[in-house]
């Protein structure tokens, strides 16, 4: 079975923030100052960030402590609405460059420097879904992460 590749425009900077806000509001959720601050901390971070990293960044910017459990709740909302992706093996979060676009993704994770690259390959993800179905399993969301070394560290 052929799996078409997604066609979407990746966002960055203010465009990414606007797309995330629009997507969240379209889902019936509010874009609050705290949610904006957490999204900015995730999207501005060069590598996937833990909830504790994000709490520290937002706490410093706001001049008062933001609890990690508050960050986790908002990150869970963002993941559920496709604004942020969770890198399962490192329990870290990375902004989705095309908020609201529903597709499976593959993460390439450098074990040396932590650089994480998100690629879309619906054929690979579709193959994983198809294999699960052949075994009588109803797949909800494949998690595909490849650990290794990036070009910069090779």
User: Encoding tokens for residue 89?
Assistant: 């093996």
Q: What is the pLDDT of residue 101?
A: 67
Cα–Cα distance for residue pair 145/108, rounded to 1 Å: 6
Mark whether 22 and 84 lie in a shared domain. Answer: yes
Residue 17 lies in a domain: yes
Residue 3 lies in a domain: no
Residue 73 lies in a domain: yes
Residue 153 lies in a domain: no
Q: What is the pLDDT of residue 99?
A: 76
Cα–Cα distance for residue pair 59/37, rounded to 1 Å: 10
Residue 40 lies in a domain: yes
Burial of residue 45 (CB within 10 Å: 0-12, 13-18, 19+) is middle
Partners of 110 in beta bridges = 148
Domain coverage including residue 91: 13-95
Mark whether 82 and 143 lie in a shared domain. Answer: no
Mark whether 56 and 20 lie in a shared domain. Answer: yes
Q: What is the pLDDT of residue 5?
A: 43
Mark whether 82 and 42 lie in a shared domain. Answer: yes
Going from the C-alpha of 43 to that of each of 72, 93, 117, 132, 139, the distances in angstroms are 15, 9, 14, 33, 29
Kindly give the confidence (pLDDT) of every residue in the chain, 154 residues in length, as a single tens digit, with 9 standing for 90 and above. Answer: 444 444 444 545 578 899 999 999 999 999 999 999 999 999 998 889 999 999 999 999 999 999 999 999 999 999 999 899 999 999 999 998 877 666 677 899 999 998 888 888 888 888 999 999 999 999 887 889 999 999 999 8
Per-residue DSSP letters for 59-76? HHHHTS---HHHHHHHHH
CATH number at residue 87: 1.10.10.10
Mark whether 88 and 116 lie in a shared domain. Answer: no
The number of folded domains in the chain is 2
Q: What are phi and psi of 95, to 5 degrees?
A: -65, 140
Q: What is the pLDDT of residue 12?
A: 55
């Amino acid at each position: 079975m052929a799996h078409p590749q997604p066609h979407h425009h990746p966002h960055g900077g203010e465009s990414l923030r606007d797309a995330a806000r629009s997507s969240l509001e379209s889902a019936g959720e509010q874009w609050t100052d705290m949610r904006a601050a957490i999204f900015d901390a995730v999207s501005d971070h060069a590598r996937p960030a833990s909830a504790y990293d994000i709490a520290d960044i937002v706490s410093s910017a706001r001049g008062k402590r933001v609890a990690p459990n508050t960050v986790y709740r908002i990150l869970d909302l963002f993941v559920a609405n496709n604004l942020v992706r969770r890198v399962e093996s490192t329990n870290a979060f990375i902004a989705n460059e095309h908020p609201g676009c529903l597709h499976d993704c593959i993460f390439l994770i450098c074990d040396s420097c932590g650089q994480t690259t998100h690629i879309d390959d619906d054929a690979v993800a579709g193959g994983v879904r198809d294999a699960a179905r052949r075994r009588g399993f109803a797949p909800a969301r494949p998690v595909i992460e490849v650990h290794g070394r990036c070009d910069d560290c090779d």
